[in-house]
Chains A and B, each alone.
Chain A
Amino acid sequence: NAGVMQNPRHLVRRRGQEARLRCSPMKGHSHVYWYRQLPEEGLKFMVYLQKENIIDESGMPKERFSAEFPKEGPSILRIQQVVRGDSAAYFCASSLSPGTRNTIYFGEGSWLTVV
């Protein structure tokens, strides 16, 4: 499968714990995006990264959330000290380049449940 790979698919965390979500983009893609889908809401943009750079983090909550895309390895979305309101589906997407004529492909998502 050469698509966008996310893991874990499902994650349960207790309040106050940390959650780490991983994303490997499609082969050949170097642009990664993270979106969040809250229950009964639409997908919301969080952050856009290229290798070793955060390009646009305008959708990221100011506290507890961080993202990285290292030179080697997957992109990581990290949520510290999780709260119940963080329960959502987190989708990673990738594209070949940032141009508007390039399709953004999504992964299958990571479902975070905070108990």
Chain B
Amino acid sequence: EDQVTQSPEALRLQEGESSSLNCSYTVSGLRGLFWYRQDPGKGPEFLFTLYSAGEEKEKERLKATLTKKESFLHITAPKPEDSATYLCAVNTGTASKLTFGTGTRLQVTL
């Protein structure tokens, strides 16, 4: 059975303090790894998809990387508006079925 584990569960950073979120996965055959951002009371907002080890994608202060066993979401010089829960998900079969981790709750303070 596919498994996705995210760490840490919660992370508190000061504004400008860079850090990384981890997503480790155990799957039978990865066809895509997804990162989403979710604000309280809202739906997941798409950030990135990574397909193969070594791939990297960037968007503003966020950078996602992928290895054969895990993915990292690097946050450079975060701002308070980056506070959210970041979700990682894997797709190992049809595009219909994403297996999600439980997320990392990020809080960025002034």
Q: Interface residues, chain A, CB within 8 Å of chain B?
A: 4, 6, 31, 33, 35, 40-45, 48, 55-56, 58-59, 91, 95, 97-109, 111
Number of A-B contacts (CB under 8 A): 70
Q: Interface residues, chain B, CB within 8 Å of chain A?
A: 4, 31-32, 34, 36, 41-46, 49, 51, 87, 89, 91, 94-103
Knowing A105-B46, A107-B43, the reply to whether A44 touches B100 (Cβ < 8 A) is: yes
Residues on the B chain within 8 Å of A108, using CB: 42-43
Residues on the A chain within 8 Å of B98, using CB: 35, 43, 45, 104
| Cα distance, A42 to B100, chains bound together (Å) | 6
Residues on the B chain within 8 Å of A44, using CB: 100
Residues on the A chain within 8 Å of B45, using CB: 106
